[in-house]
Every structure is written in structure tokens, then in C-alpha cells.
Amino acid sequence: MERGEPWRNMRRRVVARERAVALLVCTTVFAPVFTLCGCATDETLNTGASGQGVDTQRASSASEQEELARVRTALAPLVAQQNERSARLATFESRASLEFRYRDASGEHFEQCEADIFLAPPNRGALRVMKVGTNLWWIGGDGTRSWIFELNVTPKRATVYDNSASGVFAEAGDVVGTGEFTLLSPESVRLLMGHAAIAEEWVPVAFEGVAKDAPLAERYGVRVQLEAKGASAARLFATTTFGRDGLPRTLSIESMDGVKIAEATLADPVRAPMTDIAQGAWPTVARRVEVVAPRSGASIKIFLDTPAASATRMKPRFFELDALLTQLRPEVVEFVTKSNPGDASSPAASPSTPASPSSENSGLRREVAP
């Protein structure tokens, strides 16, 4: 019995070592498995959906989270007001004065013109640009495609884009050197004039360099991801700031990596008359809109003369491509379409052959499949 006691002590030490080894194996081998299977650690709780980690500047403390909640509560009525205003501006028209600064293959240009703006749901529109009574450009779209008729060149030409290839949705390589007139295509100009609704998934975004005691609406903007215009389209974000009158003051479009596409400044609010509604409920619009497109060096100033939330002079044929081809009679028509994902071809442009004014529309243009 006395000689068995050391043996029992030795066996206890061996069992203890085996348990220690087993614990070490569980810690080094199985812990990562628990994390991958959803057994979150402190580190995984601090990681955002993108894997880049939560923004500690905005959500690292309870006080900052409370601040963001207050901001969203303060901005929510402005978003609701904007969406109500947007619904009343679904139909819109106005005479206007325009100033263009743009660059193309022949150099820099500046034009002062008169214009008619027509916007109709869903995302249809037309903008006729004139100078001394002569048509220079006709920019528009039917909600599926957009187009620009260049009537001040020889030969007269029309370019038709799918929606992923025009306006703010176009890629930089497709617009540099073109003057970027498609910023005035219907969906794009509605957005830049501050008439578009704000999607429900908006988030507040803080601005740098603003006094901390400034109103919340001046320290934060409303940021939303724009609807993609195709599987291959780049992700774009629109940030809106509001003035003390509760109306959009600035609007910035940028890509996911922070590249500025276009910036609009809105000023001089006025009421836009609307039929069958009390004057106090007429929607307010910015009479002066200044747009800058950093990627192409283009800038556009719009001065509205007679804005109205109604269709007094608007005609359905303004948004019909075949009717415009018949009326405006371009000699060359070009279709621009974006390639599908995985397609080895680049964005295609297909010019038609020149046609006489008596040619049928079907023979005037030729479309290339993406």
C-alpha cells in the first residue's frame, strides 16, 4: 500500500498533462471553426459587412450612436418632404436660359442659349436648346433609352444611348471630350435639379469643417445608393444637403471609390404652379441650378423662367424616338450600348450611313446588340 502511493501521484500528473494538451488543441484548432460557423468573438462583432470594420469615428461609442439616431430623426422630415415634393414634380416644364462650358475635340467652348425643359413620368423627358430661334440640340429619352440630336453640325447627327451609358450613369471614358451634354438627359437632369425622390435606404453622412454647434441639417447630409443601370454598371451614390428652408441645397454624385461625377448647387426657390391644387401647396423648385462635372471639365447653368408642375406645352411625341427622327431628320444616327458582363467586346457604337430626308426610319439607323 505504501509503495502504491507514488504510483498514484505519478498517474495524476500524467492525466493533468493530457488534459492540458487537449485544451491547447481545442483552443488552436477548433476556435477558428467556431468563428466561421457564426460563434462570434469580440473581433467579429466589430467587423462590418464589408469586412473593413465598423467606422469608429461614427459608431465607436454609445454617445456617437445616439448622435446618429438624433441626426436620422432630424433629417427624416426633410426626406419625407422631399419625396412629397418629388411626387408633385413628376410632370414639369419650363422655359429656361442655359450657359454651357465644355470641351470637345476642337477645344473649349462657351454657349448661351434658350431652352425648353419637359419632364414626365416615368423618367421621360426632353430638353430643346435653341439660339436665335434655331435648334442646336435636342436632348431627351423615353425611360429606356436617352438621346442627343446635334443639329448645329454638318452632317446633322443623333446619338442614342441605353440608360447605363448616359448622364451621371455614364463611365468617365465615354464622356471625356464629348461636352457631356447627356447630363441633361431626363433621369440625370431630374436628379441634378433636385426633383428626384430619396430612397428609403438613406443614411446620414457627416461633413468635415462644419461648426459643431451648427444645426444638424447643416452638419449632415443624406446619402443613398443610386439604382444600378445594368449588371455591369458602377455603383454610384448621391448625397443631398438641405438648407434652412428644408429644400435641397446641394447634390453630389460620386462613385464608390469617392470619384466626383457631378455636383449641383440649387438656389433661388420659387413656387411651380400646379393645376387643381391650392397655391400654398404648389411645389417649390430651385430657379437657378449650377452643375459641374469634374471628370470632363463641363459646367452647365440653368435659369428657369416659367417653371410649372403641369403639362401645358408638353406633347407625347417629344419622348418618341421615331417621331423625333422624322421631325428633326438627322443624316447620321449612332447607337451606343454597354457590353454585358463577361462580354469581351467593349461598349459599342454603331453609326448609320447618311440618309436622305425621305428615307424610312428603319433604314436610317442600325443597332448593334451588346
Please state the domain extents for the chain.
4-54, 71-364
| Cis-peptide, bond into residue 351, ω within 30° of zero | no
Is the pLDDT at 196 greater than 90? The verdict is yes
Residue 257 backbone phi and psi in degrees, to 5? -90, 15
User: Domain 71-364, CATH 2.50.20.10 — does that match?
Assistant: yes
pLDDT average, residue stretch 97-109: 86
Structure confidence at residue 253 as a pLDDT band (50, 70, 90):
very high
Task: Respond yes or no on whether the N-terminal peptide bond of residue 122 is cis (omega within 30° of 0).
Answer: yes
Where residue 47 falls among pLDDT bands split at 50, 70, 90?
very low
C-beta atoms surrounding 306 within 10 Å:
14
The Cβ-side half-sphere exposure at 57, using a 13 Å CA radius, reads 4
Band of residue 46 on the pLDDT scale cut at 50, 70, 90: very low
Question: Per DSSP, what are the bridge partners of residue 193?
Answer: none
Instruction: Check: CB of residue 253 under 8 Å from CB of residue 235.
Output: no
Global pTM reads 0.74
Percentage of residues in the chain having pLDDT higher than 90: 45
pLDDT over 90 (residue 322): yes
The whole-number average pLDDT for the span 221-244 is: 82
CA distances from 12 to 2, 6, 22, 24 (A): 17, 10, 15, 19
Burial of 213 (0-12, 13-18, 19+ CB in 10 A): exposed
Cα 362 to Cα 214: distance, rounded to the nearest angstrom: 60
Decide the pairing of beta strands 332-337 and 157-162.
Answer: parallel
pLDDT at 363 over 60: no
Structure confidence at residue 34 (pLDDT): 29
Q: Partners of 137 in the beta sheet?
A: 129, 150
Among 27-31, 70-74, 127-131, 324-328, name the one with the lowest average pLDDT.
27-31
Q: What is the dihedral of CA 34, 43, 258, 242, to 10 degrees?
A: 110
pLDDT tens readout for residues 145-167 = 889 999 988 999 999 987 655 67
* Residue 22, C-alpha cell as written in the block: 487537449
Report whether pLDDT(115) > 90.
yes
Mean pLDDT for the stretch of residues 274-289 = 94
Rg (CA), the chain: 29
Local confidence band at 173 (pLDDT 50, 70, 90 cut-offs): low
